[in-house]
Amino acid sequence: MTLTAPAEVLLNPLRDPQDRRLPRIAGPCGMVIFGVTGDLSRKKVMPAIYDLANRGLLPPGFGLVGFARRDWADQDFTQIVHDSVKQHSRTPFREEVWQQMASGFRFVPGDFADDVAFEQLRETIQELDRERGTGGNHAFYLAIPPSFFPDVVSQLKEHGLSQPDTGSWRRVVVEKPFGHDLESARKLNAIISEVFPPESVFRIDHYLGKETVQNILALRFANQLFEPVWNSNYVDHVQITMAEDIGIGSRAGYYDGIGAARDVIQNHLVQLMALIAMEEPVSFDAHSLRVEKQKVLRSLRTPSRLDLHTSRGQYTAGWAGGQKVPGYLQEEDIPRSSTTETFAAIRLDIDTRRWAGVPFYLRTGKRLGRRVTEVAVMFKRAPHLPFDAAETEELGQNALVIRVQPDEGVTVRFGAKVPGTAMEIRDVNMDFAYGGTFVESSPEAYERLVLDVLLGDPPLFPQLEEVELSWQMLDPIIDYWADHGKPDPYESGTWGPRSAVEMLARDGRVWRRP
Protein backbone atom coordinates (compact mmCIF):
# COMPACT_ATOMS: atom_id res chain seq x y z
CA MET A 1 0.00 0.00 0.00
CA THR A 2 1.33 3.43 -0.89
CA LEU A 3 1.57 5.86 2.03
CA THR A 4 0.23 9.30 1.14
CA ALA A 5 0.86 11.15 4.41
CA PRO A 6 3.94 11.40 6.67
CA ALA A 7 4.26 8.42 8.98
CA GLU A 8 4.21 10.61 12.08
CA VAL A 9 0.80 11.99 11.04
CA LEU A 10 -0.59 8.52 10.36
CA LEU A 11 0.64 7.25 13.71
CA ASN A 12 -0.60 10.26 15.64
CA PRO A 13 -2.86 12.64 13.70
CA LEU A 14 -3.39 14.84 16.77
CA ARG A 15 0.28 15.30 17.44
CA ASP A 16 1.44 18.81 18.41
CA PRO A 17 4.79 19.35 16.65
CA GLN A 18 5.98 21.39 19.65
CA ASP A 19 5.39 18.52 22.08
CA ARG A 20 8.90 17.24 22.76
CA ARG A 21 7.60 14.24 24.71
CA LEU A 22 6.74 12.56 21.42
CA PRO A 23 9.53 11.38 19.10
CA ARG A 24 10.11 12.78 15.66
CA ILE A 25 9.35 10.07 13.10
CA ALA A 26 10.55 10.19 9.51
CA GLY A 27 7.90 10.23 6.80
CA PRO A 28 7.95 7.99 3.68
CA CYS A 29 11.52 7.79 2.40
CA GLY A 30 14.47 5.66 1.39
CA MET A 31 18.25 5.84 1.41
CA VAL A 32 20.90 4.86 -1.13
CA ILE A 33 24.34 4.07 0.29
CA PHE A 34 27.33 4.35 -2.05
CA GLY A 35 30.29 2.40 -0.69
CA VAL A 36 27.98 0.07 1.16
CA THR A 37 30.68 -2.59 1.63
CA GLY A 38 33.02 -0.25 3.54
CA ASP A 39 33.63 -0.08 7.29
CA LEU A 40 31.65 3.14 7.74
CA SER A 41 28.52 1.65 6.22
CA ARG A 42 28.78 -1.73 7.92
CA LYS A 43 29.81 -0.53 11.39
CA LYS A 44 27.92 2.76 11.68
CA VAL A 45 25.31 3.63 9.07
CA MET A 46 23.44 0.34 8.61
CA PRO A 47 23.35 -0.48 12.36
CA ALA A 48 22.06 3.07 13.01
CA ILE A 49 19.27 2.55 10.46
CA TYR A 50 18.25 -0.67 12.21
CA ASP A 51 18.33 1.01 15.63
CA LEU A 52 16.06 3.77 14.34
CA ALA A 53 13.63 1.18 12.98
CA ASN A 54 13.77 -0.72 16.27
CA ARG A 55 12.82 2.49 18.12
CA GLY A 56 9.89 3.06 15.76
CA LEU A 57 11.39 6.16 14.17
CA LEU A 58 11.38 4.99 10.54
CA PRO A 59 8.31 4.52 8.35
CA PRO A 60 7.14 0.92 7.78
CA GLY A 61 7.92 1.19 4.08
CA PHE A 62 11.49 2.46 4.46
CA GLY A 63 13.73 1.41 1.54
CA LEU A 64 17.50 0.83 1.61
CA VAL A 65 19.54 0.48 -1.57
CA GLY A 66 23.19 -0.60 -1.56
CA PHE A 67 25.46 0.40 -4.45
CA ALA A 68 28.90 -1.22 -4.80
CA ARG A 69 31.24 -2.99 -7.19
CA ARG A 70 30.11 -6.46 -6.19
CA ASP A 71 28.17 -9.04 -8.16
CA TRP A 72 25.55 -9.61 -5.48
CA ALA A 73 21.87 -10.36 -5.46
CA ASP A 74 19.43 -8.65 -3.10
CA GLN A 75 19.65 -11.69 -0.84
CA ASP A 76 23.42 -11.31 -0.50
CA PHE A 77 23.05 -7.65 0.43
CA THR A 78 20.37 -8.52 2.97
CA GLN A 79 22.75 -10.99 4.60
CA ILE A 80 25.51 -8.36 4.79
CA VAL A 81 23.14 -5.93 6.51
CA HIS A 82 21.95 -8.69 8.83
CA ASP A 83 25.51 -9.53 9.93
CA SER A 84 26.41 -5.86 10.41
CA VAL A 85 23.29 -5.20 12.46
CA LYS A 86 23.81 -8.27 14.62
CA GLN A 87 27.39 -7.25 15.40
CA HIS A 88 27.19 -3.47 15.72
CA SER A 89 23.64 -2.36 16.57
CA ARG A 90 22.98 -0.70 19.92
CA THR A 91 19.45 -2.02 20.46
CA PRO A 92 18.43 -5.69 20.78
CA PHE A 93 17.80 -7.66 17.61
CA ARG A 94 14.10 -8.27 16.99
CA GLU A 95 13.02 -10.60 14.22
CA GLU A 96 9.77 -8.78 13.40
CA VAL A 97 11.61 -5.46 12.95
CA TRP A 98 14.23 -7.14 10.81
CA GLN A 99 11.68 -8.77 8.51
CA GLN A 100 9.86 -5.46 8.02
CA MET A 101 13.13 -3.76 7.11
CA ALA A 102 14.56 -6.55 4.97
CA SER A 103 11.60 -6.51 2.60
CA GLY A 104 12.71 -3.02 1.56
CA PHE A 105 16.37 -3.89 0.80
CA ARG A 106 17.73 -3.71 -2.74
CA PHE A 107 21.23 -3.97 -4.22
CA VAL A 108 22.63 -2.42 -7.41
CA PRO A 109 26.04 -3.64 -8.64
CA GLY A 110 28.32 -1.37 -10.63
CA ASP A 111 31.08 1.20 -10.48
CA PHE A 112 30.71 4.97 -10.42
CA ALA A 113 31.30 5.40 -14.16
CA ASP A 114 28.75 2.74 -15.13
CA ASP A 115 25.76 4.36 -16.86
CA VAL A 116 23.89 1.05 -16.94
CA ALA A 117 24.23 0.70 -13.16
CA PHE A 118 22.86 4.20 -12.52
CA GLU A 119 19.98 3.53 -14.87
CA GLN A 120 19.27 0.39 -12.84
CA LEU A 121 19.47 2.50 -9.69
CA ARG A 122 16.85 4.88 -11.08
CA GLU A 123 14.55 1.96 -11.87
CA THR A 124 15.12 0.47 -8.41
CA ILE A 125 14.15 3.74 -6.74
CA GLN A 126 11.01 3.94 -8.85
CA GLU A 127 10.19 0.37 -7.81
CA LEU A 128 10.54 1.30 -4.14
CA ASP A 129 8.25 4.29 -4.69
CA ARG A 130 5.60 1.98 -6.15
CA GLU A 131 5.96 -1.01 -3.84
CA ARG A 132 7.08 0.55 -0.55
CA GLY A 133 5.46 3.97 -0.74
CA THR A 134 8.73 5.90 -0.37
CA GLY A 135 7.08 8.83 -2.13
CA GLY A 136 10.04 9.90 -4.26
CA ASN A 137 11.95 10.92 -1.10
CA HIS A 138 15.52 9.58 -1.15
CA ALA A 139 18.82 10.45 0.51
CA PHE A 140 22.09 9.55 -1.21
CA TYR A 141 24.78 8.69 1.34
CA LEU A 142 28.31 9.07 -0.08
CA ALA A 143 30.26 6.70 2.21
CA ILE A 144 33.15 6.88 -0.26
CA PRO A 145 36.44 8.82 -0.58
CA PRO A 146 35.97 12.45 -1.70
CA SER A 147 37.85 11.75 -4.92
CA PHE A 148 34.78 9.83 -6.14
CA PHE A 149 32.25 12.57 -5.29
CA PRO A 150 32.41 14.24 -8.74
CA ASP A 151 31.68 10.94 -10.51
CA VAL A 152 28.72 10.04 -8.31
CA VAL A 153 27.00 13.44 -8.17
CA SER A 154 27.38 13.94 -11.93
CA GLN A 155 25.83 10.51 -12.52
CA LEU A 156 22.97 11.34 -10.19
CA LYS A 157 22.31 14.48 -12.20
CA GLU A 158 22.76 12.76 -15.58
CA HIS A 159 20.20 10.06 -14.77
CA GLY A 160 17.63 12.38 -13.20
CA LEU A 161 18.16 11.09 -9.67
CA SER A 162 19.06 14.38 -8.00
CA GLN A 163 15.99 16.34 -9.09
CA PRO A 164 12.88 15.58 -6.99
CA ASP A 165 9.34 15.60 -8.26
CA THR A 166 6.96 18.20 -6.89
CA GLY A 167 6.18 17.50 -3.24
CA SER A 168 9.15 15.15 -2.69
CA TRP A 169 12.83 15.63 -1.84
CA ARG A 170 16.32 14.41 -2.74
CA ARG A 171 19.30 14.95 -0.40
CA VAL A 172 22.98 14.09 -0.40
CA VAL A 173 25.05 13.14 2.65
CA VAL A 174 28.79 13.85 2.63
CA GLU A 175 31.30 12.46 5.14
CA LYS A 176 34.44 14.25 6.24
CA PRO A 177 37.08 15.14 5.24
CA PHE A 178 35.54 18.18 3.55
CA GLY A 179 38.62 18.72 1.39
CA HIS A 180 42.24 18.79 2.56
CA ASP A 181 42.65 22.59 2.48
CA LEU A 182 40.62 25.70 1.71
CA GLU A 183 41.07 25.46 -2.06
CA SER A 184 40.03 21.81 -2.29
CA ALA A 185 37.05 22.41 0.02
CA ARG A 186 35.81 25.14 -2.30
CA LYS A 187 36.26 22.94 -5.37
CA LEU A 188 34.41 20.09 -3.67
CA ASN A 189 31.51 22.34 -2.77
CA ALA A 190 31.36 23.74 -6.31
CA ILE A 191 30.96 20.22 -7.66
CA ILE A 192 28.19 19.29 -5.23
CA SER A 193 26.35 22.63 -5.49
CA GLU A 194 26.01 22.19 -9.25
CA VAL A 195 23.69 19.25 -8.53
CA PHE A 196 22.15 19.84 -5.09
CA PRO A 197 20.99 23.13 -3.52
CA PRO A 198 22.64 24.07 -0.18
CA GLU A 199 19.63 23.02 1.92
CA SER A 200 19.84 19.51 0.44
CA VAL A 201 23.54 18.98 1.31
CA PHE A 202 24.24 17.37 4.70
CA ARG A 203 27.89 17.31 5.81
CA ILE A 204 28.28 14.82 8.61
CA ASP A 205 30.59 15.51 11.54
CA HIS A 206 29.62 12.57 13.72
CA TYR A 207 30.89 14.30 16.88
CA LEU A 208 28.03 16.79 16.61
CA GLY A 209 25.58 13.89 16.91
CA LYS A 210 26.90 12.76 20.29
CA GLU A 211 24.57 13.38 23.22
CA THR A 212 27.32 14.93 25.33
CA VAL A 213 28.20 17.41 22.59
CA GLN A 214 24.54 18.44 22.30
CA ASN A 215 24.50 18.70 26.09
CA ILE A 216 26.94 21.61 25.84
CA LEU A 217 24.02 23.71 24.60
CA ALA A 218 21.79 22.53 27.44
CA LEU A 219 24.50 23.03 30.04
CA ARG A 220 25.22 26.58 28.93
CA PHE A 221 21.81 27.96 28.06
CA ALA A 222 19.37 26.06 30.31
CA ASN A 223 21.25 26.91 33.51
CA GLN A 224 21.70 30.36 35.01
CA LEU A 225 24.49 28.88 37.12
CA PHE A 226 27.18 28.99 34.41
CA GLU A 227 26.47 32.00 32.18
CA PRO A 228 27.71 34.70 34.61
CA VAL A 229 31.20 33.12 34.78
CA TRP A 230 31.41 31.98 31.13
CA ASN A 231 33.77 34.78 30.06
CA SER A 232 37.26 36.21 30.35
CA ASN A 233 36.56 37.70 33.79
CA TYR A 234 36.54 34.22 35.31
CA VAL A 235 37.86 31.72 32.74
CA ASP A 236 41.64 31.38 32.57
CA HIS A 237 41.80 29.09 29.53
CA VAL A 238 40.03 26.18 27.81
CA GLN A 239 41.54 22.82 26.87
CA ILE A 240 39.87 20.59 24.26
CA THR A 241 41.37 17.11 23.96
CA MET A 242 40.65 14.14 21.72
CA ALA A 243 43.10 11.37 22.58
CA GLU A 244 43.23 7.86 21.17
CA ASP A 245 45.23 4.96 22.57
CA ILE A 246 45.24 3.11 19.23
CA GLY A 247 47.52 3.58 16.24
CA ILE A 248 46.45 4.00 12.63
CA GLY A 249 45.49 0.33 12.25
CA SER A 250 44.46 -0.40 8.67
CA ARG A 251 43.93 3.28 7.75
CA ALA A 252 47.44 3.92 6.38
CA GLY A 253 46.13 4.67 2.90
CA TYR A 254 43.82 7.36 4.24
CA TYR A 255 45.84 8.73 7.15
CA ASP A 256 49.32 9.21 5.74
CA GLY A 257 49.47 12.63 4.14
CA ILE A 258 46.36 13.75 6.05
CA GLY A 259 47.56 13.75 9.65
CA ALA A 260 46.02 14.59 13.01
CA ALA A 261 45.31 18.27 12.39
CA ARG A 262 43.31 17.74 9.20
CA ASP A 263 41.66 14.57 10.49
CA VAL A 264 40.44 15.90 13.85
CA ILE A 265 41.23 19.56 14.63
CA GLN A 266 39.74 21.08 11.46
CA ASN A 267 36.35 19.49 12.11
CA HIS A 268 35.69 17.84 15.48
CA LEU A 269 37.69 20.11 17.79
CA VAL A 270 36.91 23.39 16.04
CA GLN A 271 33.20 22.55 16.18
CA LEU A 272 33.47 21.76 19.91
CA MET A 273 35.25 25.06 20.45
CA ALA A 274 32.53 26.95 18.58
CA LEU A 275 29.81 25.44 20.79
CA ILE A 276 31.76 26.37 23.93
CA ALA A 277 32.47 29.93 22.79
CA MET A 278 29.32 30.94 20.88
CA GLU A 279 26.78 33.46 22.13
CA GLU A 280 23.27 32.37 23.02
CA PRO A 281 21.23 31.79 19.82
CA VAL A 282 17.72 33.19 19.53
CA SER A 283 16.54 29.59 19.00
CA PHE A 284 18.00 26.16 18.28
CA ASP A 285 16.97 26.12 14.64
CA ALA A 286 19.69 25.55 12.05
CA HIS A 287 20.03 29.18 10.93
CA SER A 288 20.36 30.62 14.44
CA LEU A 289 22.96 28.06 15.51
CA ARG A 290 25.03 28.59 12.38
CA VAL A 291 24.99 32.37 12.76
CA GLU A 292 26.48 32.16 16.25
CA LYS A 293 29.04 29.48 15.38
CA GLN A 294 30.20 31.42 12.35
CA LYS A 295 30.71 34.53 14.49
CA VAL A 296 33.16 32.54 16.62
CA LEU A 297 34.99 31.11 13.61
CA ARG A 298 35.31 34.54 12.01
CA SER A 299 36.84 35.84 15.24
CA LEU A 300 39.54 33.16 15.42
CA ARG A 301 43.12 34.39 15.52
CA THR A 302 45.88 32.02 14.49
CA PRO A 303 49.04 32.47 16.62
CA SER A 304 51.55 34.94 15.24
CA ARG A 305 54.39 32.72 16.50
CA LEU A 306 53.61 29.29 15.10
CA ASP A 307 56.95 27.99 16.41
CA LEU A 308 55.88 28.79 19.97
CA HIS A 309 52.15 28.05 19.97
CA THR A 310 51.80 24.91 17.88
CA SER A 311 53.18 21.41 18.35
CA ARG A 312 53.20 18.32 16.16
CA GLY A 313 54.47 14.85 16.92
CA GLN A 314 54.77 11.33 15.55
CA TYR A 315 54.54 8.27 17.78
CA THR A 316 57.45 5.89 18.13
CA ALA A 317 57.53 2.33 19.46
CA GLY A 318 56.34 1.85 23.03
CA TRP A 319 53.78 0.15 25.21
CA ALA A 320 50.00 0.40 24.86
CA GLY A 321 47.49 -1.73 26.72
CA GLY A 322 50.29 -3.84 28.16
CA GLN A 323 51.61 -4.72 24.71
CA LYS A 324 54.66 -3.62 22.77
CA VAL A 325 53.53 -1.61 19.73
CA PRO A 326 55.45 -0.33 16.70
CA GLY A 327 56.11 3.29 15.86
CA TYR A 328 54.31 5.12 13.07
CA LEU A 329 57.16 4.64 10.61
CA GLN A 330 57.10 0.89 11.29
CA GLU A 331 53.37 0.57 10.56
CA GLU A 332 52.37 -1.38 7.45
CA ASP A 333 52.25 0.69 4.23
CA ILE A 334 53.75 3.82 5.85
CA PRO A 335 56.80 5.26 4.00
CA ARG A 336 59.88 5.37 6.23
CA SER A 337 60.36 9.02 5.29
CA SER A 338 56.81 10.11 6.20
CA THR A 339 56.46 13.44 7.99
CA THR A 340 52.73 13.02 8.72
CA GLU A 341 51.91 14.08 12.27
CA THR A 342 50.01 11.72 14.57
CA PHE A 343 49.80 14.37 17.31
CA ALA A 344 48.84 18.02 16.90
CA ALA A 345 48.30 20.81 19.41
CA ILE A 346 47.56 24.46 18.69
CA ARG A 347 46.65 27.60 20.60
CA LEU A 348 43.81 29.71 19.23
CA ASP A 349 42.46 33.05 20.46
CA ILE A 350 38.97 34.42 19.91
CA ASP A 351 38.85 38.16 19.41
CA THR A 352 35.50 38.92 21.02
CA ARG A 353 34.55 40.86 24.13
CA ARG A 354 33.61 37.64 25.94
CA TRP A 355 36.85 35.73 25.21
CA ALA A 356 39.57 38.37 24.77
CA GLY A 357 42.72 37.11 26.50
CA VAL A 358 41.44 33.54 27.01
CA PRO A 359 43.52 31.02 25.03
CA PHE A 360 41.87 27.88 23.66
CA TYR A 361 44.26 24.91 23.50
CA LEU A 362 43.28 22.12 21.10
CA ARG A 363 45.14 18.81 21.01
CA THR A 364 44.65 15.41 19.46
CA GLY A 365 46.81 12.37 18.97
CA LYS A 366 47.12 8.65 18.47
CA ARG A 367 48.89 6.18 20.77
CA LEU A 368 48.38 8.46 23.76
CA GLY A 369 47.86 7.43 27.36
CA ARG A 370 44.18 6.55 27.06
CA ARG A 371 41.12 7.07 24.88
CA VAL A 372 39.29 10.19 25.96
CA THR A 373 37.57 13.24 24.52
CA GLU A 374 36.85 16.13 26.85
CA VAL A 375 36.41 19.89 27.09
CA ALA A 376 37.94 21.45 30.22
CA VAL A 377 37.00 25.02 31.13
CA MET A 378 39.74 26.10 33.56
CA PHE A 379 38.85 29.00 35.86
CA LYS A 380 41.10 31.67 37.27
CA ARG A 381 42.40 31.28 40.78
CA ALA A 382 40.66 33.16 43.56
CA PRO A 383 42.12 36.70 43.80
CA HIS A 384 42.67 36.39 47.57
CA LEU A 385 43.31 33.19 49.52
CA PRO A 386 43.33 33.68 53.33
CA PHE A 387 45.28 30.43 53.73
CA ASP A 388 48.96 29.73 54.07
CA ALA A 389 50.79 27.65 51.46
CA ALA A 390 50.65 24.46 53.52
CA GLU A 391 46.87 24.63 53.77
CA THR A 392 46.36 24.87 50.00
CA GLU A 393 49.32 22.93 48.58
CA GLU A 394 46.95 20.37 46.99
CA LEU A 395 44.59 23.00 45.62
CA GLY A 396 44.46 23.46 41.85
CA GLN A 397 42.22 25.53 39.61
CA ASN A 398 38.47 25.21 39.60
CA ALA A 399 37.40 23.40 36.44
CA LEU A 400 34.28 22.31 34.60
CA VAL A 401 35.03 19.24 32.49
CA ILE A 402 32.61 17.97 29.83
CA ARG A 403 33.43 14.33 29.10
CA VAL A 404 32.38 13.50 25.54
CA GLN A 405 33.68 9.92 25.57
CA PRO A 406 34.00 7.28 26.82
CA ASP A 407 32.55 8.03 30.30
CA GLU A 408 29.98 10.59 29.18
CA GLY A 409 29.17 13.23 31.75
CA VAL A 410 30.24 16.44 33.47
CA THR A 411 32.66 16.97 36.35
CA VAL A 412 33.05 20.11 38.45
CA ARG A 413 36.32 20.42 40.37
CA PHE A 414 36.50 22.71 43.38
CA GLY A 415 38.29 23.08 46.70
CA ALA A 416 36.87 21.61 49.92
CA LYS A 417 38.05 21.33 53.50
CA VAL A 418 39.59 18.04 54.55
CA PRO A 419 37.84 16.63 57.66
CA GLY A 420 39.81 17.41 60.79
CA THR A 421 40.74 20.29 63.07
CA ALA A 422 43.18 21.95 60.67
CA MET A 423 42.07 24.19 57.79
CA GLU A 424 43.43 22.03 54.98
CA ILE A 425 41.98 22.49 51.46
CA ARG A 426 42.02 19.83 48.77
CA ASP A 427 40.51 19.48 45.30
CA VAL A 428 37.35 17.35 45.08
CA ASN A 429 35.05 16.44 42.20
CA MET A 430 31.30 16.69 41.82
CA ASP A 431 30.32 14.30 39.06
CA PHE A 432 27.37 13.77 36.74
CA ALA A 433 27.42 10.59 34.66
CA TYR A 434 24.91 9.90 31.89
CA GLY A 435 24.94 6.17 32.56
CA GLY A 436 24.16 6.60 36.25
CA THR A 437 21.41 9.19 35.82
CA PHE A 438 19.32 8.19 32.82
CA VAL A 439 17.78 4.75 32.42
CA GLU A 440 17.90 4.76 28.63
CA SER A 441 21.32 4.54 26.99
CA SER A 442 22.33 7.42 24.75
CA PRO A 443 21.67 6.88 21.03
CA GLU A 444 24.70 6.53 18.83
CA ALA A 445 25.66 9.70 16.97
CA TYR A 446 24.73 8.19 13.61
CA GLU A 447 21.21 7.44 14.81
CA ARG A 448 20.59 11.13 15.46
CA LEU A 449 22.30 12.27 12.28
CA VAL A 450 20.66 9.76 9.91
CA LEU A 451 17.24 10.62 11.34
CA ASP A 452 17.96 14.34 10.94
CA VAL A 453 18.84 13.77 7.28
CA LEU A 454 15.55 11.95 6.67
CA LEU A 455 13.66 14.68 8.52
CA GLY A 456 15.49 17.44 6.67
CA ASP A 457 16.57 18.91 10.02
CA PRO A 458 20.06 20.44 9.63
CA PRO A 459 21.14 22.11 12.93
CA LEU A 460 23.92 19.58 13.62
CA PHE A 461 25.46 19.70 10.14
CA PRO A 462 28.28 22.16 9.33
CA GLN A 463 27.60 24.39 6.35
CA LEU A 464 30.12 25.48 3.74
CA GLU A 465 30.92 28.74 5.55
CA GLU A 466 31.99 26.87 8.70
CA VAL A 467 34.15 24.47 6.69
CA GLU A 468 35.89 27.31 4.85
CA LEU A 469 36.49 29.36 8.01
CA SER A 470 38.09 26.41 9.78
CA TRP A 471 40.39 25.78 6.81
CA GLN A 472 41.36 29.46 6.74
CA MET A 473 42.54 29.03 10.32
CA LEU A 474 44.37 25.73 9.80
CA ASP A 475 46.01 26.21 6.40
CA PRO A 476 48.79 28.58 7.64
CA ILE A 477 49.68 26.10 10.39
CA ILE A 478 49.84 23.14 7.99
CA ASP A 479 51.96 25.19 5.57
CA TYR A 480 54.33 26.21 8.35
CA TRP A 481 54.80 22.61 9.47
CA ALA A 482 55.45 21.50 5.88
CA ASP A 483 58.35 23.97 5.69
CA HIS A 484 59.93 23.07 9.02
CA GLY A 485 61.14 19.49 8.92
CA LYS A 486 59.85 16.45 10.74
CA PRO A 487 57.37 16.18 13.63
CA ASP A 488 58.76 15.65 17.13
CA PRO A 489 58.88 12.01 18.27
CA TYR A 490 56.92 10.79 21.30
CA GLU A 491 56.80 7.32 22.79
CA SER A 492 53.58 5.34 22.39
CA GLY A 493 51.55 5.33 25.61
CA THR A 494 52.67 8.82 26.67
CA TRP A 495 50.82 12.13 26.26
CA GLY A 496 52.64 13.60 23.29
CA PRO A 497 55.94 15.28 22.48
CA ARG A 498 57.92 17.55 24.74
CA SER A 499 57.13 20.51 22.49
CA ALA A 500 53.45 20.29 23.51
CA VAL A 501 54.39 20.58 27.19
CA GLU A 502 56.65 23.53 26.43
CA MET A 503 53.88 25.20 24.41
CA LEU A 504 51.70 25.57 27.51
CA ALA A 505 54.64 26.16 29.85
CA ARG A 506 55.45 29.36 27.94
CA ASP A 507 52.01 30.61 28.93
CA GLY A 508 52.46 29.48 32.55
CA ARG A 509 50.02 26.57 32.18
CA VAL A 510 50.03 22.77 32.04
CA TRP A 511 47.95 20.19 30.21
CA ARG A 512 45.30 18.35 32.15
CA ARG A 513 45.97 14.65 32.62
CA PRO A 514 42.56 13.14 31.71
Q: Which residues contact 460 (CB under 8 A, 6 or more apart)?
A: 205, 208, 209, 214, 448, 449, 452
Cis peptide before 462 (omega within 30 of 0): no
CA separation for the pair 382, 234 (Å, rounded): 9
CA proximity to 81, closest of 41, 129, 133, 35: 41
Q: Which residues contact 45 (CB under 8 A, 6 or more apart)?
A: 33, 141, 143, 446, 450
Backbone angles phi, psi at 422, to 5 degrees: -85, 155
Distance of CA 278 to the CA centre of its chain: 18
Contact indicator for 145, 39 with CB cutoff of 8 Å:
no
**Is 484 among the residues known to form the active site?**
no
- Locate all alpha helices (DSSP H) within 373-437, ordered by sequence: 434-437
The residue length of the chain stands at 514
Q: Give Cα 205 distance to the centre of its chain.
A: 4
Catalytic residue among 138, 268, 287, 309: 268
Among residues 27, 29, 31, 21, which one has the least CA distance to residue 8? 27
Q: Which residues are catalytic?
A: 268
